[in-house]
A and B are shown apart, each in its own frame.
Chain A
Amino acid sequence: MINILTTHWSDFVHGFGITLLSSIIALIISMILGTGFAILEIVPNKLVNTIAHIYIQIFRNIPLLVVTMFFYVVVTQFVKMSGLVAGTIGLALYTSAFIAETVRAGILAVDKGQTEGARANGLTYWQTMRIIVLPQAFKIVIPPLGNQFINLVKNSSILAFVAGFDLMYQGNEIASTTFDTIDTYVVVGLFYLVITLPLSYYMRYLENKLA
């Protein structure tokens, strides 16, 4: 195992870097989209609610691989994109649907009195949402959000299917050239842990700190 690590160190590190990069970008995009659609699902406007609901249902109920392939095979005919880009977009949209559901639950869990107090105090709907409700909602949903983030990192292995040069892709390459499959995938697994373990402990720390 040490052997495969040293001989293919730069491939692993390259794959690790891609996985990390793709995960971070997808995480940022999915948080923005997810929070946005969570809000759109509850603003007092039926049409907007329906549109947001449809978006969420689509990306939540179609396999990630299908979403990713759609961008890699279909969308790329109109807008050229690499596997890395297609995979990251697929990952971001797919995850955003789950984050939307999570954040929405958080918003609904915030005491209605908070909104009434703020509106009576003169704040607008959006000021109330941004300054009073959302911060409390995020705090409530830190644990499930942490799960979504970890799932996102693991799901980024989808990139291997679209030549995304991520950790999983590099692992497949190395395994098929060295035939040392066990050691290779153990190393790949360990590299994923390097991201996911600190992430899960950090989320737990946040949860305790803000409690």
Chain B
Amino acid sequence: MAMIEFKNVEKYYGNFHALKNINLEIEEGKTVVLIGPSGSGKSTLIRTINGLEQIQSGDLIVHGENLAKKKTDMNLLRKNVGMVFQHFNLYANKTVLENIMLAPRIVLKRDEKENRELAEKLLEMVGLADKGNSYPNMLSGGQEQRVAIARSLAMKPKVLLFDEPTSALDPEMIGDVLEVMKKIARDSDMTMVVVTHEMGFAKQVADQVIFMADGTIIEKSGAKEFFENPKEERAKKFLSQVLNH
């Protein structure tokens, strides 16, 4: 069974039709990269997966829960679906360690000792073992984003969403964040959905590439196939633009 399944999903912002008849299945454990021009609906689509945006019709089934149903408990769903944002969104009033430990403590009721051990392990994994007591505003963007990834991982989610995780970073910071993401894609059985303009990352770790434009999915194919032999005209044009500069 698919971990994430869109069936005839429609999304409107007021009168604006942001997602048009989306049909998509993402298998458990796969890494899917979502690309497309600005305003094509990538953020909108990824944000529907954890209920940050509501859909108006169709079915959206994530980890067995149908988000189209009113009675679906989003808080319950979000235990299993983490998200990493373009602007990190770390808790400004909490230390790095507290950022990571807060949700496991109050949402999962994880034992405090176990919680701290995991948080420290994750910080080490993202290369920031010495930053546990810093506040977010004392970190660089790249460091903040790695903390944000650790914060999501601490929940041990089934699905991890990334919305342009490196777009707000200075070029020299991007590599570290991508390394961490590659490590997760390789070593874990999490399902990852990544909106990004980093084509190198997509080529290396994506199982599937989805190309969107104007609120619809124009093309979805295996990563190798997509980059070597894109079928749709708009996808070809987009690829030549992002790859040749």
A contacts, CB < 8 Å to B: 111, 113-114, 116-124, 127, 131-132, 135-136, 139
- Answer whether residue B90 sits at the interface, using C-beta atoms and an 8 A cutoff: yes
Contact of A114 among B81, B92, B107 (CB under 8 A): B92
Are the C-beta atoms of B78 and A136 separated by less than 8 Å?
A: no
Contact of B75 among A113, A116, A122, A135 (CB under 8 A): A122
Contact of B85 among A116, A123, A127, A131 (CB under 8 A): A116
Contacts of B92 in A (CB 8 A): 111, 114, 136
Q: How far is the CA of A132 from the CA of B151 in the complex (A)?
A: 15
- Interface-central residue, A117, A121, A139, by most chain B CB under 10 Å: A121
Are the C-beta atoms of B93 and A132 separated by less than 8 Å?
A: yes
A-B contact count (CB 8 A): 63
Contacts of A122 in B (CB 8 A): 75, 78-79, 103, 107-108, 155
Chain B interface mostly:
loop
A-B contact pairs, 20 of them (CB 8 A): A111-B92, A113-B85, A113-B88, A114-B92, A116-B85, A117-B85, A117-B89, A117-B91, A119-B52, A120-B50, A120-B52, A121-B82, A121-B102, A121-B107, A121-B151, A122-B103, A123-B102, A132-B94, A136-B92, A139-B93
Scan residues 73-100 of chain B and give those whose CB is less than 8 A from a CB of chain A. Answer: 74-75, 78-79, 81-83, 85, 87-94
Known: A114-B89, A114-B91, A127-B106. A121 touches B75 (CB 8 A): no
Are the C-beta atoms of A120 and B83 separated by less than 8 Å?
A: yes
Contacts of A111 in B (CB 8 A): 89, 92
- Cβ distance B53 to chain A, nearest Cβ, rounded Å: 11
Are the C-beta atoms of B78 and A120 separated by less than 8 Å?
A: yes
Q: How far is the CA of A120 from the CA of B107 in the complex (A)?
A: 12
Q: How far is the CA of A135 from the CA of B98 in the complex (A)?
A: 15
- Cβ distance A109 to chain B, nearest Cβ, rounded Å: 12
Are the C-beta atoms of B93 and A135 separated by less than 8 Å?
A: yes
